[in-house]
Amino acid sequence: MSAAATYEAIASVYDAYTAHYDSEGWIEDLLLILERRGLHHGALLDVGCGTGESFLTMLEKDWEVTACDISPAMLAVAAEKAGDRARLEVADMRELPRFGTFDLIWALDDAVNYLLDTAELEAALRGMRANLAPKGLLLFDANCLPAYRTFFAETHEFELQDGREMTWRGDAPKDAEPGSTCEATMLIDGAVFATHRQRHFPAREVLETLKRAGLECLDVYGQGTDGIPRKPLDEGTHTKAIYIARAA
């Protein structure tokens, strides 16, 4: 199942599924990191914005927001939250249009892991670079190998607000290799609902791809299950890597 098909399928339950995320707190932490790199108030391009949780905090801070996602259904949910406060566009990050010039571009919550090889990652990064202001900053996160050896290899069950039972069934091996493509299946009341297919990108690959895409990496942070970004990145223990870059 493609990323587009997956998120079209889960749009109606995505917010319930992620209700335990502290998106606002995490974004505040990311903004503090970006401010140390000179971020100033301006325009945001949110790539892979999903249901809009990733940009609501920025709207409250009076940022000018443009957001895109490959799934029209996810964007429809985002539009209900944003109203006319944000420009929302359907777009595939591998073929990202030129939406304008942005002081900050981000792709959050492992959006880039749905790209299945370095060529797709490079295409996405080139598209983001083309939308950066001269002193603009790019931030994105990518799942590290421990995420695939745990969450993508485990089964978790919980009840949706409407009483239905949702199951996350990780199908990855607990010894998944670097660069692996891993899958997890979502079921509702025992019926297959969607399949998530992601690729692990080792930090070395990401840094090399950034350079090929005309970007300079400024910082790399690691993040564990506590959700707090820290340096240095430890690919053996951190579940997520966070990259900050600018046009080279």
Model pLDDT for residues 123-145, shown as the tens digit of each residue: 999 999 999 999 999 999 999 99
Tens-place pLDDT, residues 190-237 = 999 999 999 999 999 999 999 999 999 999 999 999 999 999 999 999
The pLDDT > 70 percentage for the chain reads 100
pTM of the model: 0.97
**pLDDT by residue (tens digit) across 73-92?**
999 999 999 999 999 999 99
3-141+202-247 is classed in which CATH architecture?
3-Layer(aba) Sandwich (3.40)
Q: Is the dihedral angle over the CA atoms 226, 125, 88, 187 positive or is it negative?
A: negative
Contact yes or no for 140/112 (Cβ under 8 A): yes
Task: For CATH 3.40.50.150, list the domain ranges present in the chain.
Answer: 3-141+202-247
Q: Which residue has the tokens 């001269």?
A: 134
Contacts by residues 15-19 (CB-CB < 8 Å, ≥ 24 positions apart): 15/51, 15/53, 15/77, 16/160, 16/161, 17/160, 17/166, 18/53
